[in-house]
Amino acid sequence: MNISNWEQLPDDFKFNYNQEQLAEVWGKLHQGDHYSYPLDMDSYDEETLNKQADAWLHYHNGDYQKAAELGLELEAHGSVVLAKSVAAYCDYLCEDEDKALKLLKKTMDFCENAVQELPDCANTNFVNALIMGRYSQRISITKALAQGLGGKIKEYLETTLDLEPNHAEAHTATGLYHAEIIDKVGAMLGGLTYGAKKPIAYQHFDASMEIAGDVPITAIEYANGLLLLGGKESKIVGLYSQAADCEALDALQNCDIGFAQDQIE
């Protein structure tokens, strides 16, 4: 996988945490995925945990290229930070569509290999769904369904929630899975063929809001889902406004809040 020459965030979007400062806000930053702070873990060797901590520090400060490079070096144990760095880069910085698609495809392959090594890790399963979802949105949901990606995404999300029922990001992604399918193929075909149903989408969006409602992306993705489902405009605007009023705790939240503000202007 080629990780080089990534565009960088503007300096005023970046953070400058050190490890001690990051540890203090870690719980708030990761209330959506329940990922443990590496330096508080004892599951792996010290070198691995220190490199994980460094990768996450770069990620939260906004250097997605460096975070992804370290994630790649960590192999399966770096799949989560690698995938989230790639997702952030493709969402907000990469303007080259071909580059983004190739990067997402290679990350999909990397993460599928990683989950074979770490099948009982909720977040390793989740990032497979995350990256497949981003790839699917870029090639079109219809093409992704034809390639069988929809079933894989659903399976990874179900496994994530079996392993960690309070994984807010997986609840959000599950809601979007149902909403995207209903939007593209209709409620009847979506329900019969893929099991996609509006009530299930709302159930998962509500669950994510209960767990991590003060995280900007939770409200944003709920609003995005409501747009697909034909939700009330007042509810959609309210959710974007809620996200726009948040105080950013890392570089990605700065990007998310900026996106939300753009939606209500």
Of 128, 143, 176, the last residue of a domain is 128
Judge whether 1 lies within some domain: no
Q: Number of folded domains in the chain?
A: 2
CA angle at 142 for the pair 141 and 147, rounded to the nearest 5°: 95
Judge whether 153 lies within some domain: no
Judge whether 2 lies within some domain: no
Closest Cα to residue 139, out of 124, 128, 150, 126? 150
Q: Is 0.75 topped by the overall pTM?
A: yes
Summary count for the chain: helices (H), strands (E): 14, 0
Q: Are residues 177 and 262 in the same domain?
A: yes
pLDDT of the residue at 103: 97
CATH number for the domain including 188?
A: 1.25.40
Judge whether 49 lies within some domain: yes
pLDDT of the residue at 189: 76
Q: Are residues 32 and 123 in the same domain?
A: yes
Cα separation of 25 and 248, whole Å?
11
Judge whether 134 lies within some domain: no
Q: Are residues 111 and 207 in the same domain?
A: no
pLDDT of the residue at 184: 85
Q: Are residues 174 and 252 in the same domain?
A: yes
Judge whether 6 lies within some domain: no
The DSSP-derived string for 100-155 is HHHHHHHHHHHHHHHHHH-TT-HHHHHHHHHHHHHHHHHH-HHHHHHTTHHHHHHH
Cα separation of 171 and 158, whole Å?
9
Cα separation of 38 and 53, whole Å?
5
Q: Are residues 190 and 106 in the same domain?
A: no
CA 265 to chain CA centroid, Å, is 25
Judge whether 91 lies within some domain: yes
pLDDT of the residue at 1: 84
Q: Are residues 97 and 32 in the same domain?
A: yes
Q: Are 50 and 39 in contact (CB under 8 A)?
A: yes
pLDDT of the residue at 193: 78
Judge whether 38 lies within some domain: yes
Q: Are 81 and 72 in contact (CB under 8 A)?
A: no
Cα separation of 177 and 156, whole Å?
12
pLDDT of the residue at 44: 76
Q: Residue 41's domain spans which residues?
A: 16-128
Q: Are residues 107 and 182 in the same domain?
A: no
Which residues does the chain have with pLDDT short of 70? Answer: 192
Cα separation of 229 and 13, whole Å?
32
